């Protein structure tokens, strides 16, 4: 039995493509039953046109509302830090593609961090810069001694650098998604999961 924490829970909100897979991978690695810091999750819609209230899944998928499919996470900061959750967010999707994850395309699938305080915004920007430098910046040139006639050598470039395009914006109006979307891949283990939702490092 885990002792109840006296620390006030905090909220983190992330968008990284189809919210089924995003919620699933966070809960798979931070299961509430194992006291790893995440207390609960909700999937829903945020970051859209403010005149649109209580949007439906069909409306959001149509692209007219500009809402993102997102996951709202309640967590215990005495167990898992916001820094760690932001880094994990980056580990589990491709933050270099605009309005896309895998074959899923549209503004609802954009990469975004919706911050709930100035402190969260500062952390999100710092971690983003660290991830960019460590995982998405070219390390330079590599000279290989491949003897390919008629040239004595071939200059081979390292993989091209990619730029993180994740939006970092203040959290706004949140709308819970329909009930059948909540914990979808736990209820439907054979359901669709975007292949980008995995640990990339």
Q: Please check whether residue 149 lies inside any domain of the structure.
A: yes
- Whether 104 maps to a domain, the answer reads yes
For the chain, the first-to-last Cα distance in angstroms comes to: 32
For residue 4, tell me if it sits in a domain. no
Question: What pLDDT, on a 0 to 100 scale, did the predictor assign at position 7?
Answer: 85
Would you please indicate which residues are annotated as catalytic (active-site) residues? Answer: 18
- Cα–Cα dist 72/40, whole Å: 8
pTM score, whole prediction: 0.87
Residue 195 lies in a domain: no
Distance CA 73, CA 78 (A): 15
Reference 49, options 24, 68, 35; nearest CA is 68
Helix (H, G, I), strand (E, B) or coil at 131: helix
Residue with tokens 């980008």: 196
Structure-block tokens of residue 158: 């390292």
Classify residue 169: in a domain, yes or no. yes
Whether residue 201 is contained in a domain is answered as no
Domain for residue 44, yes or no? yes
pLDDT in tens, 55-102: 999 999 999 999 999 999 999 999 999 999 999 999 999 999 999 999
Which residues form the domain of 69?
Answer: 10-187
- pLDDT (0 to 100) of residue 139: 63
CATH number at residue 78: 3.30.1060.10
- Token pair listed for 13: 């909100």
**Among 74, 69, 68, which residue's Cα sits nearest to residue 30?**
74
Tally of structural domains, the chain: 1
| In contact, 22 and 198? CB cutoff 8 Å | no
38-43-44 Cα angle (round to 5): 140
Q: Which residues of the chain have pLDDT under 50?
A: 1, 141-160
């Amino acid at each position: 039995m885990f002792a109840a924490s006296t620390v006030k829970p905090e909220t983190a909100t992330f968008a990284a493509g189809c919210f089924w897979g995003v919620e699933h991978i966070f809960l798979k690695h931070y299961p509430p039953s194992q006291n790893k810091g995440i207390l609960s999750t909700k999937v829903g819609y945020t970051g859209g046109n403010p005149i649109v209230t209580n949007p439906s899944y069909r409306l959001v998928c149509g692209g007219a509302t500009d809402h993102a499919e997102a996951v709202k996470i309640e967590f215990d900061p005495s167990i898992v830090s916001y820094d760690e959750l932001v880094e994990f967010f980056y580990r589990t999707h491709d933050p270099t593609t605009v309005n896309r994850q895998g074959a899923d395309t549209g503004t609802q699938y954009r990469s975004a961090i919706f911050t709930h305080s100035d402190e969260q915004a500062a952390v999100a920007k710092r971690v983003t810069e660290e991830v960019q430098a460590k995982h998405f910046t070219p390390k330079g040139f590599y000279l290989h001694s491949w003897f390919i006639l008629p040239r004595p050598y071939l200059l081979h470039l390292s993989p091209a650098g990619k730029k993180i395009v994740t939006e970092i914006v203040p959290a706004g109006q949140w709308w819970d998604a329909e009930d059948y979307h909540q914990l979808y891949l736990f209820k439907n283990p054979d359901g669709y999961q975007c292949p980008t939702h995995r640990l990339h490092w």
